[in-house]
Structure 1
Amino acid sequence: MNILNGKRRGYPVLVVIFCLGALIFSNCASGDAKPAAQLDSAVPAAATGSAGTPKVYMTTDISPAGLEAMYEALGRKVSGRVGVKLSTGEPGGHHFLSPDLIKDLVQSVNGTIVECNTAYGGRRANTAMHKQVAIDHGFTAIAPVDIMDEEGSISLPFPKGKNITEDFVGSHFANYDSYLVLSHFKGHAMGGFGGAIKNISIGMGSTQGKAWIHSAGKSKTNPWGGPQDVFLESMAEAAGAVMNSMGDRIVYISVMNHLSVDCDCSDNPAPPEMDDIGILASLDPVALDKACVDQVYASDTRRSASLRERIESRNGMLTLDHAEALGLGSQQYELVVING
């Protein structure tokens, strides 16, 4: 077992420490913020390290077996009616998660793939078109697919919000007992990067909710033209509304392959310049996103240059800074590498 230390900002090369037996090495925490999940007494021991920092598990095995191993490592099972949140991908793009990769895990939890319509037009802007995309991209062949805002929105409160104090998600959100959040980590034209936080905020937002987040609570119809930083903060706040609603009934897995600077919402994404990295998982979405970003910065500096520039030029790390300040998670973590 390898433990890699996640460091804050500056993104130095990660230090690899080879451990034997039960030896655990943890980060020195730089603040008191803890993941929301850690506040629940049901958090499994596998979720946190010796200093109470969240664990992020990683494998370089990007396969159905590797995905299953990451889910098992978390020590928390999703149960009841399970929503599997992922991006169905905009037609024309092809970097979205492969149904062949996720099929075994989705079916093992008897999951329903859930999505919401877009706010920017395109071929996923209404339910009928979106369902056809899910068919065309192979998702309906492996599981039922539910467009959660087919029947409108519901509000989830977030009283601590600086920009938004409620989040609007698809009304079918309430139909699920637990969520498996499967994210494809990649760049994003506005957020800098997209991972777990984006997947449960913008991704679970209804069409109205997406506009609400983008406009930082100014509009439910117009997602364009809002200040960049308040949009990033609003994503963190919307994620907090989902996290507060679900408690310990949610788990997060992110796949780091096809690492384009563009999101799966693009119909013409740039080709990836980086090698595939692996699959990461955590009960803390802030730690998970930070670990994914750290993996980018620990990669070949020439081949990761475009993605690093995308993150920095959009001030992408503000989303995680704000989420951590709100107590939604920690950017300090222990990365446990499991291979074989």
Structure 2
Amino acid sequence: FKCHELTGFGGAIKNLGMGCASRKGKLVQHSTVAPVVAEKYCIGCGICPRACAHDAILITGGKAIIDPQKCTGCSRCITVCPVKAINIQWNEAADLVMRKMAEYALGALSGKSGKAIYINFITQVSPACDCYGHSDAPIVNDIGICVSTDPVAIDQACADLVNGARGNEGSALQSGFEPGGDKFRGVWPEITWEVQLEHGEKIGLGSRKYELVRV
């Protein structure tokens, strides 16, 4: 369980929706995400082309250029840019990604009612996706492990536990340090992370209501 630059956090819903989707399904889920380069800030350092797994970025005229035909919207370039010159065109993109993700998660569970359990490790809660070859300081101290038969409930519980903890100074967290503060918006303020939970509950993926039993 960690923060994520497109969905606020990644937990059971994201692992189901993205992790169990085919390559085509992953591309469909990311299809509304379009990173753009702010040329006035780009220094042409060449880090983003080397980080891109899809050869979608070239340095031309001393500036990074993203090929929209090759870009899958994975956002890796955003996290590696040293001058924050690459960003998502934030309109409805992130919300649509989360809705698609919840729907793909529901599809992954089709025919498996009562046969799945979900385990979220709230440890080393990194500020960005853990698919990169690097990590950053955790935004909160380790909290524990959650187990549930409901993917929506476990993600809601984990989000509440992270937000209920004290944020770590010196991490990527910019606000919400106090217990009860929104840690996910403290890292990614543009993201309405609740969308994945709201939509998941709406389509019958699970319930946001839960009972926390500590053992």
TM-score, scaled relative to structure 1: 0.41
Alignment match of 1:255 (pick from 115, 121, 142): 121
| Partner AA of 2:161 in structure 1 | Q
Deviation at 1:268, TM superposition (A): 2.4
Q: Structure 1 pair 311/292, CA: closer, same or farther in 2 (3 Å)? A: farther
Identity of aligned residues (%): 37
* Distance in 2 of aligned mates of 1:270 and 1:302: 12
Q: Deviations over 1:275-294 (max 9, x none)?
A: 10000010000000000000
* Distance in 2 of aligned mates of 1:311 and 1:329: 25
Alignment match of 1:264 (pick from 130, 138, 145): 130
Q: How does 1:181-330 map to 2 (within 5 A)?
A: 185-215=1-31, 223-224=72-73, 227-301=93-167, 305=177, 307-310=184-187, 312-330=189-207
The structure with the largest strand share of the pair is 1
Q: How many positions carry a matched residue from both structures?
A: 151
> Root-mean-square deviation (CA), in Å?
2.3
* Distance in 2 of aligned mates of 1:258 and 1:196: 16
Deviation at 1:311, TM superposition (A): 5.5
Deviation at 1:269, TM superposition (A): 2.1
* Distance in 1 of aligned mates of 2:168 and 2:135: 20
Residue 175 (structure 1) aligns with: none
SS at match of 2:187: helix
Q: Structure 1 pair 245/310, CA: closer, same or farther in 2 (3 Å)? A: farther
Q: Which runs of 5+ in 2 are unaligned?
A: 33-69, 74-88, 170-175, 178-182
Checking the alignment, whether the CA contact within 8 Å between 1:260 and 1:269 is kept in structure 2 is yes
Checking the alignment, whether the CA contact within 8 Å between 2:119 and 2:145 is kept in structure 1 is yes
SS at match of 2:206: coil
The runs of 4+ residues in structure 1 deviating greater than 4 Å are 301-304
Checking the alignment, whether the CA contact within 8 Å between 1:193 and 1:311 is kept in structure 2 is no
SS at match of 1:296: helix
* Distance in 1 of aligned mates of 2:12 and 2:153: 10
| Partner AA of 2:2 in structure 1 | K
Q: Which runs of 5+ in 1 are unaligned?
A: 1-184
| Partner AA of 2:93 in structure 1 | P
Q: Deviations over 1:177-234 (max 9, x none)?
A: xxxxxxxx00112111110000011111222211011126xxxx75337822111110
Deviation at 1:312, TM superposition (A): 4.8
Q: Deviations over 1:26-74 (max 9, x none)?
A: xxxxxxxxxxxxxxxxxxxxxxxxxxxxxxxxxxxxxxxxxxxxxxxxx
| Partner AA of 1:215 in structure 2 | S
* Distance in 2 of aligned mates of 1:271 and 1:302: 8
* Distance in 2 of aligned mates of 1:326 and 1:271: 35
* Distance in 1 of aligned mates of 2:17 and 2:131: 14
Checking the alignment, whether the CA contact within 8 Å between 1:186 and 1:260 is kept in structure 2 is yes
TM-score, scaled relative to structure 2: 0.64
Q: Deviations over 1:107-152 (max 9, x none)?
A: xxxxxxxxxxxxxxxxxxxxxxxxxxxxxxxxxxxxxxxxxxxxxx
Deviation at 1:313, TM superposition (A): 2.7
SS at match of 1:329: coil
SS at match of 1:266: coil
